[in-house]
Structure 1
Amino acid sequence: MAYISGPVLKHAATLGGFHVKNVIAYVPVLAFWGAAAGAGVATFTDNWPLFQKTFYQKIPFIGNHWVHNVDPEDTYY
């Protein structure tokens, strides 16, 4: 019979105090909720002029949807 002097301890890899295995398991869930939150923000800020000028008009290919060209007949002097 072999003598064991003490328990053999292994250091588990951590990321910010969380085990890497658990962080990897939560990545799909966090990505889903992050995308849902982003879609909610985009939905509720769609008609805000500040968001239109700052973010939405700069989206390639579909940014022209938020550009408002007023007809000359509709302007007031």
Structure 2
Amino acid sequence: MFDLTTAAVIYCTLVAIVFLGLWLWNDRRDHRTFERERRKTTFHCIRCDQLYTAVVGTELAKCPRCGHENTRLKF
């Protein structure tokens, strides 16, 4: 059917395509994870002086240490 050289070239090409696909898929997944972690709202507790974060769009959040509800930091 195929000689050895042609089969080796086809095999190497398919392996390269699989590795390229896996690399692109992992790169996109890692980028989405990084963006999700990066986009957070920062809060400062006025009772216990702790800095903490919450998801984007949150205007009020409870402090994880003391439970006091704080507004987000505005710069």
TM range (shorter): 0.3 to 0.5
| TM-score (ref. length: structure 2) | 0.32
Structure ranking higher in strand proportion? 2
Larger helix fraction of residues: 1
- The higher-RCO structure (CA 8 Å, 6+ apart) is 2
**Greater C-alpha Rg:** 1
- TM-score, normalised via structure 1 length: 0.32
